[in-house]
Amino acid sequence: MTAIATPERVVVAMSGGVDSSLAAALVVASGAETIGITMRLSASGSRCCSLEDADDARRVAERLGIRFYVANYAEAFGREVIDAFADAYLAGRTPIPCIACNQRFKFDHLLERAKAFGAARVATGHYARISHDPATGRARLFRARHREKDQSYFLFSLRQEQLRQAHFPVGEMSKEDVRREARALGLETAEKPESQEICFVPDGDYAKVVERLRPEATQASGSIVDEAGQILGRHRGIHRFTVGQRHGLGIASDRRLYVVRLEPESQRVVVGDATDLDCSGARVERVGWISGEEPDGPIRVRVQVRHRHRAVGAEVRALASGETEVRFDEPVRAVAPGQAAVFYDEAGDDEVLGGGFLVEGRR
């Protein structure tokens, strides 16, 4: 009998978008036996798992002449990602579900399935780069070649064994190149519009999703106060707010008011001026390092606290409490608990060193 495990087998996570479609095409072109998988992450109604997207991925797989399957993770995804998303909003945080999705689903679960298939690697359409250091055997993670599409912020929590088996075929390319090549190959998804939203919040209405999952949130209410404790208005649940938000406060004021802080215990939304949003540092939890090793002492990094933010110079220091303290070189605006703080190398702002989740900004 021939061996089942053929090392050149590669699984490609195909969402039905142009990036993962071209990633699959590039893996095919490399000569690997390519297997396309669309992950079904929710029972119905969400964009990433819609029939249309699965059908798009299937059509691309057919054009490429590769086997294609749907992997049903709806139940686990609902439990591990969507429920956690709702609970985070109720606790006054601004969650970032893509990180758990990448780590646990695109890599943990899909890597497991790849192994069941005798495949050694999982490729995705992420814009980021991985290099393998032959001396140490370590994998290193970098921003995409073209910064405007960089998705490394969502990948900081990948572990060594995940990175070693991950492959980002479009990480060196620009979006324009990806579309051009997809067009040249006649891939059905070449002109497909970009998706910006969180996949299970297709219309961007986070509050509605939270209220569907946690109906008690529809009953929530509280006060909108300023830093002095003065009540300025009422609100219908802190899950409707994020730090830095200016619109939808529903209060009349001469000042431009921003959400500065959410207080889950008292259900208060604290507002202030733009300058009140500036933070000189932050506490970060669940910090991990790509190398798998913690630094010996405080280190200098560039830190990025939101996907679209610019990274700033900072010092990172582990605290005795298990949390990590980050001190910014310059004020950083709208540090939202629940978002990720991702650490890049100080000199180049290019290599991902690690990161964690924001607990609280420090003024």
Neighbours of 266 (CB within 10 A): 12
Q: Whole-number minimum distance, CB 176 to another protein, in Å?
A: 31
Question: Which residue, 38 or 151, is less far from another protein as judged by CB?
Answer: 38
- With a CB cutoff of 8 Å and minimum separation 6, the contacts of 138 are 132, 160, 291, 292
Question: Which residue, 71 or 213, is less far from another protein as judged by CB?
Answer: 71
Catalytic residue status for 98: no
Q: Whole-number minimum distance, CB 280 to another protein, in Å?
A: 42
Residue 89 binds to another protein (criterion: CB under 8 A): no
Q: Report 14-53 residues binding another protein (CB under 8 A).
A: 35, 38, 40, 49, 51
Question: Which residue, 81 or 209, is less far from another protein as judged by CB?
Answer: 81
Residue 115 binds to another protein (criterion: CB under 8 A): yes
By CB under 8 A, name the one of 87, 90, 118, 263 that touches another protein. Answer: 118
Question: Which residue, 3 or 228, is less far from another protein as judged by CB?
Answer: 3
Question: Which residue, 51 or 84, is less far from another protein as judged by CB?
Answer: 51
Helix (H) or strand (E) holding 225: strand 222-226
Beta bridge partners of residue 270, listed in sequence order = 225, 261
Q: Can you tell me the distance from the alpha carbon of 316 to that of 342, in angstroms, rounded to the nearest whole number?
A: 11
Residue 117 binds to another protein (criterion: CB under 8 A): yes
Q: Can you tell me the distance from the alpha carbon of 215 to that of 262, in angstroms, rounded to the nearest whole number?
A: 20
Q: Whole-number minimum distance, CB 109 to another protein, in Å?
A: 6
DSSP string, 181-236: HHHHTT-TTTTPPP--S-TT-TTS-HHHHHHHH-GGGGG--EEEEETT--EEEEES
Q: Can you tell me the distance from the alpha carbon of 144 to that of 253, in angstroms, rounded to the nearest whole number?
A: 43
268-272 β-sheet, strand order = 231-235, 222-226, 268-272, 258-263
**Catalytic position from the list 49, 98, 199, 279:** 199
Q: Whole-number minimum distance, CB 159 to another protein, in Å?
A: 16
Catalytic residue status for 199: yes
Residue 71 binds to another protein (criterion: CB under 8 A): yes
| CB-CB contact of 150 with 282 (8 Å) | no
Active site residues: 101, 199
Q: Which residues bind to another protein, rule: CB under 8 A?
A: 1, 4, 35, 38, 40, 49, 51, 54-55, 58, 67-76, 109, 112-113, 115-118
